[in-house]
Amino acid sequence: MYFYSGVDMGAGPLTILWRVILPNIRAALLSGAFLTFAIVIGEFVLASLLDRPAFGPYLQLIGASRAYEPSALAIIAFIVTWACMGLIQLVGRRPGGIAAGRR
């Protein structure tokens, strides 16, 4: 299945994927993998230092015996994550927007 985009200059879909798309997303994939690894290791170290189960195992543990509490905790964790991301966006903004950096 080939979709003509008008800007491929005769290259096939696999060539476009291999030579254009994959080199551009390589850094993002590596960053995501390293960030995930750092979060997992941090949670493991924190849980072993505190000698208490971390959030993931705790969620699985209560999910084995209860029906609604794990889904409520997952939704709360999702909301807290998005609130933190929004806070990062607000704090990281420059006064005056993007154009202020060009002056």
- Residues near 60 by Cβ (< 8 Å), separated by ≥ 6? 70
Average pLDDT in the 5-32 region?
79
Confidence of residue 1 (pLDDT cuts 50, 70, 90): low
Q: In this structure, what DSSP letter does residue 17 have?
A: I
For 11, phi then psi, to 5°, come to -75, 145
Confidence of residue 6 (pLDDT cuts 50, 70, 90): low
pTM over 0.85: no
Query: Among the residues of the chain, which ranges form H helices?
Result: 13-16, 22-50, 55-63, 69-92
Yes or no: say if 18 and 29 are a contact pair by the CB < 8 Å rule: no
pLDDT in tens, 40-94: 887 777 777 777 667 777 777 788 888 888 888 888 888 988 888 888 778 777 6
The predicted structure's pLDDT at residue 82? 86
